[in-house]
Structure 1
């Protein structure tokens, strides 16, 4: 069922766009008659040419469309200098209202180009259907026509130009929720390694649970890959690494480890390298982003440790990979546990809690309840120490430093961190990253 209609007038000649009312009336009437639901939201995207000055009187003429009473307050005309800017503005309106099913009415020749914009600016959360728009030769009337079956694919040049246009627009957007902040550990020597843990500030993601420096995109969330890429570019600039040599683990909630330079597994929650200038990272939004550094053999690693990965020993699997691949001594490896959900907030079903109780009874609080509180950080520390990591080489601020400058509880600090536990399915993601300096 269509929830919104997008009318693309962006490519129409400038002289026709000055008479928006005349162009819209027939189309709005058709939308009213043909829509499967009463009065969907209607967004019209138009090109605002350079030097095109629209005064308040011209803009205020739009309410003359009030004859379509059910569309009053549901029709918005968006003027922008680029199609990327107009479409991204409309995406924000759709997201404010949690709309996902959109009918796009546009000139036939625009369809393939529009699909490129949509592929980049939207995710599979949204559903689009298309109808052709016919423009009379005098450019004063619009008519919705039956969709044409023949489509010409966009050229490589068209796609490259659209990508460049989108990138330039996103780069121009202001940072949200304050400046970009990176948390760093004093345990990891800064003369050898570049590292840090991100917070949620300083990016351009605008949806409440994803705002603002979300660093992960998926088919189930509304933040597209191009926005995450722009957030990463801003992080790279602030931290001093090359975003083109950035590698993030491919989450499977298991214990597989990728060795940089060898065949990459289909999925893995740990990654290690001894290559200079390559930044590796692990995400977390309650799960622990764990960083590993060996200043002697000059190697590093990152692991994503949720409750499943913790039980499967992903942190020690990462340590073992550093030992076997780079001849690291386990007693030289430094480990930092990043922001993650604390035992103050995190609960699991009793059956899962039993596994943590076997690691250490102190990992579980209210063990006899249906959903006991779980300390995945303590379990990680116990497993690392059992594997030979020295206790003094593990940083978990919730134990070692009550000022907590890194190992915050993500669920307890909505101003600083994302949390799946707290925010639900459309949650944002922060990361821990590390690299050997060149």
Structure 2
């Protein structure tokens, strides 16, 4: 059974007689199942303030006799469908609700599905029921061309929906403070544009995702539209084109995509020597690693989790730059971004043995069933073994801790996301880099 009901009256004029509206709502809510719903939200269009007040009074009077609506009932007004749906989504997320029944006119169902695809993820499950308005046919604003359930909306209609959603999300204020970008002093600012994001300055409002989440997943409540808006704000603040942004397709392995060649289905490293192309790697405990060669003017980004670290994804990215662009390994700068530290990250004994074999200093409390692991040190060991100069690697071993970008994500909940700390519904920060034009 649905945990909440959403009634779409967005195109319904509120000049209905009170008893007619009450019959409409009562029949809609009780007729099909005879059961009471804990939360009911009614979507209404906000126009002039006088009209809104009049509509609200009609609704309040019409439900006064519906005892089952005294709790958990709310009328939500907004000027557009995107705004009212996003407001209701926030209310659903506050209550951790994911099973929703939507009662709406058949003419709006195809349109509603498109809005839901953009503003929700597969965490939510929807069922639909037709809203039958038969008190007075003049009370419903019929569209010029009635939609059918299986109708495919025209491209211009889809674009109008996307534009409406984008405009609404762009209008939202930033949460949890200002957008902050961390930069390395080792990477030349004259040649490269780069940085590591934190969790402030975006519009994601769910506690573990707030507020600058940069990854959308079917398992999380942050939809792609919100992530795109966060990315738009990052692009504007950092100075790169959102349309040229490319991020790795994480597989926790060591495959590297050389931009310009056929793109693999998945890869944890990416390299380019093309100007104006921003490449990125995510992290939420895993290490976002940036690579820069100021001589050959080439760059790379890699996602290095514990598995990718052992598989050598960092050196695989270096080797791709050397092979493809003629880089000298001694010229390449490598910067490790915020990631889980050896203070917080544990692995089972069998996995810990592999790090211990690489360097005993990569493991702390080795005799425990789940020892503490230092994936940053393991990354440095492999990079130095591959020829990267020690002074060209920036990590948490840097002498000046004021310049340390490799902070522990788990230890800083105000600054970073962490899978270890937050569980499955975690947010994601990124490291990004591009060659200036």
Query: How far apart are the structure 2 equivalents of 1:277 and 1:6?
Result: 45
Matches within 5 A, 1:214-233: 214-233=213-232
Q: Quote the residue 1:413 is aligned against.
A: 412
Cα deviation for residue 259 of structure 1 reads 0.4
Name the structure 2 match of 1:95: 93
Tell me what 1:145 maps to. Answer: none
Give 1:4's aligned residue.
Answer: 4
Deviation at 1:402, TM superposition (A): 2.6
What is the CA deviation profile of residues 145-174 of structure 1, one whole-angstrom value per residue up to 9, with x for unaligned ones?
A: xxx985322111111101000000000000
Q: Deviations over 1:189-233 (max 9, x none)?
A: 000000000000000011000000100001111101010000000
**Shift in alpha-carbon separation, 1:63–1:340, aligned structure 2, 3 A:** farther
1:204 corresponds in structure 2 to 203
Cα distance in 2 between the residues matched to 1:39 and 1:149: 28
Q: Distance in 2 between matches of 1:35 and 1:3?
A: 13
Return closer, same or farther for 1:101/1:25 CA change in 2, 3 Å cut-off: same
Q: Secondary structure at the match of 1:400?
A: coil
Q: After the TM superposition, which residues 167-182 of structure 1 pair with which residues of structure 2 at under 5 Å, given as runs?
A: 167-182=166-181
Q: Is the 8 A contact 1:2 1:40 kept in 2?
A: no
Shift of 1:56: 10
**Structure 1's 21 and 312: CA in aligned 2 closer, same or farther, altered over 3 A?**
farther
Distance 1:186 1:299 in 2: 17
* Cα distance, 1:150–1:345 mapped onto 2, change above 3 Å: closer
Residue by residue over 1:12-54, the C-alpha shift from the partner in whole angstroms, topping out at 9 and shown as x without a partner, is 23644xx688525542454245448642311110111145554
* C-alpha contact (below 8 Å) 1:397/1:404 kept by paired residues: no
Gaps of 5+ in 2: 141-146
What is the number of equivalent residue pairs in this alignment? 431
Contact 2:291/2:332, CA 8 A, preserved across alignment: yes
In structure 1, the residue corresponding to 2:130 is in which secondary structure?
strand
Q: CA deviation at 1:354?
A: 0.5
Deviates more, 1:353-362 or 1:130-139: 130-139
- Say which SS state the counterpart of residue 29 (structure 2) adopts: helix
The residue number in structure 2 matching 1:353 is: 352
1-structure distance, mates of 2:21, 2:310:
62
Q: What residue number does 1:378 align with? A: 377
Residue 118 of structure 1 pairs with residue 116 of structure 2: yes
1:397 aligns with 2:396: yes
Once superposed, what is the RMSD of the aligned Cα atoms?
2.2
Deviation, 1:62, is 2.3
1:150/1:216 CA distance change after superposition, 3 Å: closer
Distance 1:282 1:138 in 2: 57
Could you tell me which of 33, 37, 58 is aligned with 1:39? 37
Normalised by the length of structure 1, the TM-score is: 0.93
Contact 1:103 1:131 in 2 (8 A): yes
Query: Aligned ranges for residues 123-138 of structure 1 at < 5 Å?
Result: 123-138=121-136
Q: Is 1:293–1:299's contact at 8 Å kept on the other side of the alignment?
A: yes
- Gap change, CA 1:36 and 1:239, over 3 Å in 2: farther
Return the offset for 1:283: 0.3
d(CA) in 1 for partners of 2:192 and 2:92? 43
Moved more, 65-74 or 42-51: 65-74
Q: Are 1:25 and 1:65, in contact at CA under 8 Å, matched by a contact in 2?
A: no
CA distance in 2, matches of 1:182, 1:150: 46
Q: 1:364 Cα shift? A: 0.4
Q: Distance in 1 between matches of 2:117 and 2:19?
A: 30
Q: Secondary structure of 1:317's partner?
A: helix
Tell me the CA shift for residue 133 of structure 1.
1.0
Task: Tell me which of 51, 74, 77 is aligned to 2:75.
Answer: 77
1:28 and 1:413 mapped to 2: Cα distance? Answer: 50
Q: Detail structure 1 runs of 4+ shifted over 6 Å in the superposition.
A: none
Greater displacement, 150-159 / 336-345: 150-159
Cα distance in 2 for partners of 1:20, 1:123 equals: 37
Q: Give 1:219-298 correspondences, 5 Å limit.
A: 219-298=218-297
1:3 and 1:224 mapped to 2: Cα distance? 20
SS where residue 271 of structure 1 aligns?
strand
CA distance 1:139–1:422, shift in 2 (3 Å): farther
